[in-house]
Chain A
């Protein structure tokens, strides 16, 4: 090409784009996705970061729709879930964890307020699945199975849906209209629920109803007993019946001085319920100390604030009329309580035993291949299937910690495996991303913001009524709280890599599409990786 050039100029002007500086590189940046610690922790397998992402932009409907893919009960969860996710939240190492649970409740309550609908079921599969028990596990399974296009019949022995959420969790923690609304939403999807129908023999029921598979989630409703020598006049009840009778017309007569024996969440629930029923004193007797107590610390704290008293390191030896004999204990080297031989007496109008619950397994008699250990049904932890093909189980009747969220997770997992089993397939194992650890977070970039504290009912008011103790977040508080999420390990399109590259070697693909590296020019300096707030860029050595 010839061109008129100025004096002493022999070459045409060129662009530096001809110089591919990517050849300098010894390390290349690579975008990665990491598993956020909240998602890892969630027993129901929620994509917490995923739904918070939508909530951050105020898109609550989309956030809720994302959430209910995994858990159809956000309003219930937002009240009774122990939110162990928050304990793992990386933001906790900066200021305080994101209030995931309160945002979940806000979304759940928005859905109830606006009547948002659960997703439509897929095309009918022609299969019919039996679910035994309309508790959190059974209804979670029913929801997922129905979404997958299966016909679902739930048989529930009790008069109402909810299981332990209704007959175990007090109203001040879970208002019944919330529970009922989230249960009815599943019925509205076309799930048949038969109330007051106890399955006495699973094999007979399966055969009579021509069911293709079954999910058992009967819960653990039989109160454990312990031997306490008692005279006739002693008024001894069990926690399960006390909490269950709270649902009926006749409230239990506990008297003015109530002693609760046990250290779990149920013991706390009973003591707080007793206070609300008018007891002047509610005393929990527990054989170990507070550190060893299985009840969640925030519930212990709320109970103590309400005036519940606890006798630590004590066992009940005898009940004689209105007098209990209590022995002091000490913890040995292994943390087990040992008797001291020191006794004292405690006046009580009633004694409520909250010593755990057993499962009624009578419906399983005669089923081939089942294995029962320690009073619970053994299942394959990967599929939730029992030793009997086509018979799955979850919730409190299988080996696991017992809480609502775990039960919901069991139901979801079992549903997916039932679906695969019905099609003669197995669920492909998903390769999980590596953990998004705090060390990978560049915390400089996040605004300083303390956790929004949910309003609590005044203590005086809540001990005299069964009004809900935890209030909800307002819209602006919920938005604020959602925006505290760091998006650990997953690109949230902050444009930092795109901005900080000295070589313009990051290509912005547009909203929702993230970024791409232009390796023709990337020199591998690593600024993008160092300045990525959420740790979604790795530096990888180039092959020599």
Chain B
């Protein structure tokens, strides 16, 4: 009779929405979500990684019918969740070393494959994820991860990127952005903070392996993040998910700004959100309200030396130019402007 109404008050911007159909609702809006990372963990107030990990693992749990095993690298996520003898994890979970989470995941997947074959099945129903921070992924665990990729092992690897070694006292990693102050890139000298022209972009490196699925996401867009986990779990082989998780401690931000910062990272173009299959970008999340990089940087004390007097206007311009390059490269803005 009437055309269907496409407008739902908050649409899918909020975690839940009573006006949406059940199948459009997020895992996190459900009272039955698995809370894979339970209360009582020792993450800081407003920890983006704790939030991101629950989002990802709960979504993977739903996608696999709770048939899931996790391997974890050393890092904040491991330390705050599992101080002996307590644990916050509500799924089979193993920690071995800082640099070998991908290899442990590979081993579990291999064992599950053998078990499945012995039971007369082609594939294991039980699935494997491996996860770590940016240090354990982009630096220390990079060799194992690259091996997992090139062998196309049936593991989803998730990197929770908070852009430095936060657990050990905020040292620079190869994911630390240019200009950020860390304990090892102090805000001193002609070019304060992390140097320019260094570091690596792991999502692009993962794409270069031409694995079945690579995606980036943030803790500010839950529906997008959950859809990517679900898609990743529908695919067999090596998959990589890179989630930006703001860190109030290391970034010097207010604990209540965690989700806001993740949102601004996307809206400035600093952190492009996209999906790629077999080395090709297949979709990007467009910027909704484009804002200058200052809006993002000024909320973080790790960039405080870029502003005020004398400040570092050239470095800010450099960061803006990098964000603009991302916008062009990934086509983050609609042709119409927004």
Q: Is A499 within 8 A of B16, CB to CB?
A: yes
Check A508 for interface membership: any CB of B closer than 8 A.
yes
- Cβ of A447 within 8 Å of any chain B Cβ, yes or no, is yes
Partner of B40, one of A18, A501, A511, A531: A18
CB distance from B221 to the nearest CB of A (A): 11
A414 to chain B, nearest CB (A): 36
Q: Which residue from chain B places its CB closest to the CB of A9 in the assembled complex?
A: B85
CA distance A173 to B281 in the complex (A): 57
On whether the beta carbons of B255 and A499 are closer than 8 Å, the reply is: no
What's the least CB distance linking B243 to chain A, in Å? 13
Taking a contact as CB atoms under 8 Å apart, the answer to whether A56 and B86 are in contact is no
Query: A interface vs B, CB < 8 Å?
Result: 11-21, 24, 56-57, 444-447, 449, 474-476, 479-480, 483-485, 487, 492-496, 498-505, 508, 510-511, 518, 520-521, 523-527, 529-531, 533, 539
| Sample of 8 more A-B contacts, CB < 8 Å, known A480-B5, A499-B16 | A15-B87, A16-B81, A16-B87, A492-B9, A494-B16, A499-B26, A505-B39, A533-B14
Q: Give chain B's interface secondary structure class.
A: loop
- Which single residue of chain B is at the shortest CB-CB distance from A16? B40
Task: Pick from B13, B18, B29, B54: contact of A504, CB below 8 A.
Answer: B54
Task: Show the binding face of B for A, using Cβ within 8 Å.
Answer: 1-5, 7-11, 13-19, 26, 28-29, 31, 35, 37-43, 45-48, 50-51, 54, 81, 84-88, 222, 248, 254-260, 263, 289
B256 & A525 in contact (Cβ 8 Å cutoff): yes
From A526, which residue of chain B is reached at the shortest CB distance? B256
**Alpha-carbon separation in the docked complex, A296 to B4 (Å):** 35
A511 touches B15 (CB 8 A): no
Which of B26, B54, B81 counts the most A-chain CB atoms under 10 A from its CB? B54
Once the chains bind, are B18 and A493 in contact (CB under 8 Å)? yes
B2, B14, B84, B257: the one contacting A496 at CB < 8 Å is B14
Q: Report which of A11, A17, A493, A527 forms a contact with B84, defined as CB distance below 8 A.
A: A11
Asked whether B29 lies within 8 Å of A498 as measured between CB atoms, the reply is yes
Interface residue from B19, B39, B87, B259 paired with A13 (Cβ < 8 Å): B87
Contact A500 B51 (CB under 8 A): yes
Contacting pair B47 A502 (CB below 8 A): yes
Contact A16 B259, beta carbon cutoff 8 Å: no
Contacts of B258 in A (CB 8 A): 502, 525, 527
Contact A24 B10 (CB under 8 A): no
Within the complex, the shortest CB–CB distance from B4 to chain A, in Å, comes to 8
Q: Are B31 and A510 in contact (CB under 8 A)?
A: yes
A-B residue pairs in contact (CB < 8 Å), sample of 20: A15-B87, A16-B40, A17-B40, A19-B40, A21-B39, A24-B45, A56-B9, A445-B14, A483-B9, A492-B18, A499-B26, A502-B46, A503-B43, A503-B50, A504-B38, A518-B39, A523-B46, A525-B47, A526-B46, A527-B258
In the bound assembly, the distance between CA atoms of A503 and B51 in angstroms comes to 8
* C-alpha spacing A334/B258, complex, angstroms: 53
A523 to B11, CA, bound (A): 29
Residues of A within 8 A of B5 (CB): 476, 479-480, 483
Q: Is the CB of A446 within 8 A of B50?
A: no
In the assembly, what is the distance between CA of A511 and CA of B254, in Å? 32
Q: Are B85 and A13 touching (Cβ within 8 A)? A: yes
A533–B39 CB distance below 8 A: no
Point out the residues of chain A lying under 8 angstroms from B42, CB to CB. Answer: 16, 19, 21
The answer to whether A499 and B15 touch (CB under 8 A), given A15-B87, A446-B10, A447-B9, is yes
> Smallest CB–CB gap between A384 and chain B, Å?
37
Please state if B7 and A526 are interface contacts (CB–CB under 8 Å): no
Whether the pair B16, A493 counts as a contact (CB closer than 8 A) is: yes
Q: Which residue of B is nearest A474, CB measured?
A: B2
Whether the Cβ atoms of A499 and B256 lie closer than 8 Å is no
**Within 8 Å CB of A480, what residues of B?**
5, 7
Judge whether B15 and A496 touch: CB under 8 Å: yes
Residues of B within 8 A of A12 (CB): 85
Residues from chain A with a CB closer than 8 A to the CB of B19 are: 56-57, 483
Q: Are A498's CB and B46's CB within 8 A?
A: no
Contacts of B9 in A (CB 8 A): 56, 446-447, 483-485, 487, 492
Point out the residue from B18, B81, B85, B259 that lies within 8 Å of A500, measured CB to CB: B259
Question: Could you say which residues of chain A place their CB within 8 Å of the CB of B85?
Answer: 11-14
CA distance A524 to B255 in the complex (A): 9
